[in-house]
Amino acid sequence: MTGTARGRRWAALGLGLLAVAAYAGGAWLSGSASPMARRPLLDGSIIPQPYRWVAPPPAFADKNKLPDSGEFTVAFNGNRSDAGVFSTNDQQASVVLSLGAIPGMGGARSVHLTIDPLDPATAGPPPHGLTVLGNVYRIEATYEPGGAPVTRFLKQPLVVLVYPALVTHGLERKLLFAPDGQDWTQLRTTDDPSAFQASASIDEVTGFYEVVTRGSVTPSAPPTAPAGGGTGSVLPWIVIGVAVVVAAALVAARLRSRAQTREYESYRRESVGSASGRSPGSARGTSARRKSRKKRRR
């Protein structure tokens, strides 16, 4: 292999590593400024965890576990509130806050954020033709100390609710909001059916939230996790495996290139020696014999 070809190979490898480093650096920079710039919550899960109901349908009652509540503290650094993804332990409800999303208030050192699951029967019914999927969640944010409600945001929060993997006749899920749990308003929703989650940016946090679908819902057997309890994404392992294979191929190619170079250099030296038909020592002997003949002629 020539030096030019080796140079092109290493240049391509260098560009690939540079692109990976640039992507990782950009993801870190954008994620540190705003959690909303990161990948969707729960993205990549192949088999979802069984949904946890406050009041499960009969088909799910035997194996149902009660859903988790969440209680969090959002601190202020100077006049800016911390960024973060605040999720219940079962990951069924989350609030995503960007850096500086909550304006400061005189004397407040933090914000107290709570997320509580409720039975949909305790809230008002959804608009006609819609069916609730899963629990209703009440979210509340108050300044501490003092307990004054947070009513304004400098950057819109994101609310994310997971819904159960049920057979629905409506193909689209929507997130509803009601400040009092009675008069529901449809939010501009991003529905991710692969992750069973609906999300929406909101102007205020405190209130009630639920996921709905159009038409009726057909109960089915709850999904089960794979043997051994593994429920995470296999994507990271695929990436690691591909990286190992690529690295091994590059090392093998480099070793093969070195061996070919050594063989080429050895072959070239042998070819030059065969073409001359004599060694440097024999050339000196021939010159000496010519000089001896000239002396005898004289």
Residue ranges per domain, the chain?
34-224
For the chain, give the mean pLDDT: 76
Q: Which of 67, 91, 90, 63 is nearest to 222 (CA)?
A: 63
99 φ/ψ sector (left φ>0, alpha ψ -120 to 50, else beta): beta
What was the pLDDT predicted at 120?
Answer: 96
How is residue 36 annotated by DSSP?
A: G
Q: Is the pTM of this model over 0.85?
A: no
Read off the pLDDT of each residue in 118-124 and give the average, rounded to a whole number.
96
**3 φ, ψ (degrees, to nearest 5):** -65, -35
> Cα separations (Å) of 94 from 68, 166, 201?
12, 21, 12
- Residue 46: count of CB within 10 angstroms of its CB: 13
d(C-alpha 63, C-alpha 16), whole Å: 49
What was the pLDDT predicted at 224?
Answer: 45
Asked if 98 and 83 count as a contact pair (C-beta separation under 8 A), the reply is yes
Higher pLDDT, 198 or 291: 198
Domain 34-224, CATH 2.40.10.10 — does that match? no
Interval 18-50: pLDDT, tens: 444 444 444 444 444 444 444 444 444 445 689
Asked if 140 and 70 count as a contact pair (C-beta separation under 8 A), the reply is no
Q: Which of 198, 166, 160 is nearest to 56 (CA)?
A: 166
Give the confidence band of 166 by pLDDT, cuts at 50, 70, 90: confident
Interval 43-91: pLDDT, tens: 444 456 899 999 999 989 999 999 999 999 999 998 899 999 999 999 9
Interval 205-228: pLDDT, tens: 999 999 999 877 766 544 444 433
Asked if 40 and 192 count as a contact pair (C-beta separation under 8 A), the reply is yes
Give the confidence band of 106 by pLDDT, cuts at 50, 70, 90: confident
Higher pLDDT, 160 or 194: 160
- The 3-state DSSP class for residue 203 equals coil
